[in-house]
Structure 1
Amino acid sequence: MSSWYRNLPSFQEIELTLSQLGITNVKLQRRQIKAWLEDLRIKYHQSSSESDLPDWMRSRQGILSEVKEKFSKRKPSQLSPVINATGIVLHTNLGRAPLGEKLLAQTIPSLFQYSDLELDFVTGERGQRTDRVESLLCNLSKAESAIVVNNNAAAVFLMMKAVCEGGEVLVSRGELVEIGGSFRIPDILREAGAKLIEVGTTNRTRLSDYQKNLSDRTIAVLKVHPSNYSIQGFTEEVSLSELVGWSKKVEIPTLYDWGSGTFYRFQQPVLQHVPTVQQEMATEVDIMCFSGDKLLGGPQAGIVLGKKTFLEKMRKHPLYRTVRLDKAALCILEQTLIAYGSMSNVVQNIPTLEFLERTKDEILEYVNDLYRTIDISPEWKLTIRETESMAGGGGIPEIKLPSMALCLNHNRLSATEIHQRLRSRKPAIIGVIRKDNVHLDLRTVMKSQFNSLRESLQLLVSV
């Protein structure tokens, strides 16, 4: 009925009601309040009689009382910490690489005070904000030059725009990838003003395929790491070193979108074949780019390494200013790279590396300790099972890491309901549903969160 709509208070009336309760951040909840009011309008529209409505919706005073209940305790939307028990180390939905607590603490003084971000102490003149980070990158990688931008997608686009605009670029059909957010290599080439020349087939590309498509219009060869999938079986690809060797002979540059890289040599048996930045740069590739918040374990950033001639083109391109790294990310990246200067301690300082290096036996100890210290009611069942973790984040999709999980099951609750209850905890616990059980893989649970996980699970399974 149209008269029901008169019960709806305005936003200003709601703001006044909440301010009388001492709440001063109402404007930060404006969007949620307006969406809630719209939901009430829809409920009015869908109701045929007053009996279809809850009591509080039948009067303005009732709605204002509901406002007090619903919004007086709610904080403005903000990022909240979670316990990642999925076993996916670089979980895109959960922020990819968690940052080292010690490294973050070392950045704080440079962030809450003024800093020498773009000041040269020696000359007193304006300096370059990325000089320190780029020097560290060159020292660690032995590259001629380095550039950092705000993410790897930006790095790839800047590379193609500055180096390849107006020319043809040879790319294997098996490497024409799409990653999250519909980022497609063919689209990037087109937007950069370069013409894509596909070579080989989806599953097999040989050096002769590149050679047959070379022309006087060819400006570069692009190799792309298929970061979020793998082709297995009857396959063949041209290695980076082989491609670089050929491109040098025909005097065109080789560009490499690696996607995810690290300076650390993994000790975990299944990860020992993963190449380091140093190894990839030893191929003498002309330009290589990768993300800062994947296997490197740092903040979101696009890292570009390679020959100074090409990187100077990127640095001088107008687009470079639009994708530069901000002060906070630069500080964190700097501390991350400094950590790599001491390989004996780097695993303890970078959580991503520590998670990836955890052994199955070590994780089993964590799971057993959790299992032994939790008392459960008769309707709950806890079991320990073998599972497999993943690096995630479009890094090394073909690798499965042996791990252990604590599994939750209930006589009446479905796995979906159990998982929902876990997500409602503070901090939220995110696991994986498999065969009517919720699996909690402790590979990705930070040691500092073990007690919180234990306490939340105890409250959940004791009733």
Structure 2
Amino acid sequence: MSDLYREIPQVAKLLEDASIKSFLSRFYISEIKEVIDETLADLRTKIKNNELKEIKYEEVVRLIVEKLNKKQIYSLRKVINGTGTIIHTNLGRSLLSEAAIKHVIEVCANYNNLEYNLVKGERGSRYEHVEGMMARLVGSEACLVVNNNAAAVLLSVSAFAKNKEVVVSRGELVEIGGSFRIPEIIETSGAILREVGTTNRTHLSDYEKATNDNTAIYLKVHPSNYHIIGFTNNVTNDEIVSLEKKMNKERVKPIITIEDLGSGCLIDLSSSGYKENLVSESIKSGIDLVTFSGDKLLGGPQAGIIVGKKNLIDQLKKHPLLRAFRVDKMTIAALEGTIRDYFDEEKAKRTIPTLKMIYLSESELRERALMLYERIKCIEGISSEVIRVYSTIGGGSLPHSQLVSYGVVIKISNYPAHEIERVLRNQEVPIIGRIVNDKFLLDVRTLLDSDIDIIINTLDRIGRSLWKTS
């Protein structure tokens, strides 16, 4: 037993081995040493458990090289999204447009005027860079950007309803993902939740009956991630605004209306076959503050955007929580680069990836699927077929949406669908698809042009390895 321990190569010797040393161009020496230490620790465990009869230096080197080949420089990596879910919460949500990426690089690679007013030559505000553009787009008096929509809601409720009541319909007490729930956000803000109505039916009279001297906010929450049909009734924005005006006639401290729109749709999607509430419509109805996400239907970076009355947003800018929710230069640059394209809606549909994917026609998708199929069928050991499938928008947006699309089924002899999924997920560039009726497929709606060659090269490599072992 002790002889085997003595045969374990020394770390210093392994670090000088040419095969291992070649990885210094990719990894720091400390990272290589960590892999060596892990490998040697595994050997000691196997010796202890009587699982090894001999140790060969060449085999130890091979194990280390194998691990280094699998090791990635970064944990956060590019993946190929073949799931058909456009705003995939687990895969980074919306892709940035080329204009947004270019602006982020330019701003972050150089010093910039993040908080410097170039006209006055004095300290400026980071929020000014997007405030004017966003306010013009949606027709609001002012705008404020924080780091996500949950923060936008929390900041708004904290500022205007601490120790006071927030009236919300029971049908709008949603969970927005990751166990973040509207009731908990309200509780965290220091406000008191006042539930009204029922899950499926809430009337204006419910809000009116719940109103008292301690009422501070009427909160409307757009149920972005679910849809109730059947025997339902919701209070419209026009109705809640009219009630607000009625109640405020005799109040010293006015009630304000806030709507959490969630997805943040800036353009009419009806030409794509779907209808989503527009931010501009909420502002036009008279809602005081509207909050929404930057990385959902807007197609930009993660951010929480608050638009509405200037006097209220000015108060939010002075709130202590804003410092904790502050956005950085990368977010501001990405958002600025994204929203500029919205001044030309047709251009936005072509340049903002989220919108572009939504608006892909059935014929375009079928043509793309057939092109991928033709290239796959030339690979030995791999076969495929094209089938009609449905994509989803995702990200808690338009939960009832099903977009007609096409999927390319990938088949490998004697490999069940779940095994194909595992193999492709563990490639150098992970390929993520979905399984439908025991078939693994790639929905072409969410594939980028640059993904195609990677998919083909990966499948070709897998096919050749199968041919060698058969």
Q: What is the TM-score normalised by the length of structure 2?
A: 0.87
Question: 1:188 deviation in Å?
Answer: 1.0
Secondary structure class of the residue paired with 1:179: coil
What corresponds to 1:262 in structure 2? Answer: 265
Separation (CA, whole Å) in 2 of partners of 1:9 and 1:157:
57
Question: 1:320 deviation in Å?
Answer: 0.4
Match of 1:436 among 435, 438, 441: 438
Q: Is the 8 A contact 1:103 1:349 kept in 2?
A: no
The 5 A counterparts of 1:28-67 are 47=49, 50=50, 52-53=51-52, 56=55, 66-67=63-64
Separation (CA, whole Å) in 2 of partners of 1:385 and 1:225:
34
What corresponds to 2:101 in structure 1? Answer: 104
What root-mean-square deviation, in Å, do the aligned CA atoms of Structure 1 and Structure 2 show? 3.0
Question: 1:334 deviation in Å?
Answer: 0.6
Separation (CA, whole Å) in 2 of partners of 1:447 and 1:363:
12
The 3 A distance-change label for structure 1 pair 32 and 141 is farther
Question: 1:288 deviation in Å?
Answer: 0.8
Question: 1:408 deviation in Å?
Answer: 2.1
Secondary structure class of the residue paired with 2:343: coil
Q: Is residue 401 of structure 1 aligned with residue 403 of structure 2?
A: yes
Q: Percent identity?
A: 39
Match of 1:330 among 329, 332, 348: 332
AA of the residue aligned to 1:229: Y
AA of the residue aligned to 2:267: Y
What corresponds to 1:299 in structure 2? Answer: 301
Higher mean displacement: 375-384 or 188-197: 375-384
Question: 1:356 deviation in Å?
Answer: 0.5
The 5 A counterparts of 1:268-307 are 268-271=271-274, 273-307=275-309
Higher mean displacement: 88-97 or 99-108: 99-108
The 3 A distance-change label for structure 1 pair 311 and 384 is same
Question: 1:461 deviation in Å?
Answer: 5.2
Separation (CA, whole Å) in 2 of partners of 1:64 and 1:455:
28
Match of 1:425 among 415, 424, 427: 427
Separation (CA, whole Å) in 1 of partners of 2:33 and 2:206:
58
The 3 A distance-change label for structure 1 pair 2 and 165 is farther
The 3 A distance-change label for structure 1 pair 61 and 307 is same
AA of the residue aligned to 2:158: K
Match of 1:83 among 61, 80, 105: 80
The 5 A counterparts of 1:211-226 are 211-226=208-223
Separation (CA, whole Å) in 1 of partners of 2:63 and 2:71:
13
Higher mean displacement: 445-454 or 88-97: 445-454
Question: 1:61 deviation in Å?
Answer: 9.2
Question: 1:116 deviation in Å?
Answer: 1.4
Separation (CA, whole Å) in 1 of partners of 2:245 and 2:302:
32
Secondary structure class of the residue paired with 1:297: coil
What corresponds to 2:346 in structure 1? Answer: 344
Separation (CA, whole Å) in 1 of partners of 2:165 and 2:53:
66
Question: 1:266 deviation in Å?
Answer: 2.2
AA of the residue aligned to 1:295: L
The 3 A distance-change label for structure 1 pair 374 and 408 is closer
The 3 A distance-change label for structure 1 pair 185 and 344 is same
Q: Deviations over 1:134-160 (max 9, x none)?
A: 111111111011100111111111111
Separation (CA, whole Å) in 2 of partners of 1:408 and 1:426:
18
AA of the residue aligned to 2:258: L
Q: Deviations over 1:365-396 (max 9, x none)?
A: 11112222333568644222111111101111
Q: Deviations over 1:168-220 (max 9, x none)?
A: 11111111111222111111111111011111111221222212211111111
What corresponds to 2:252 in structure 1? Answer: none
The 3 A distance-change label for structure 1 pair 454 and 378 is closer
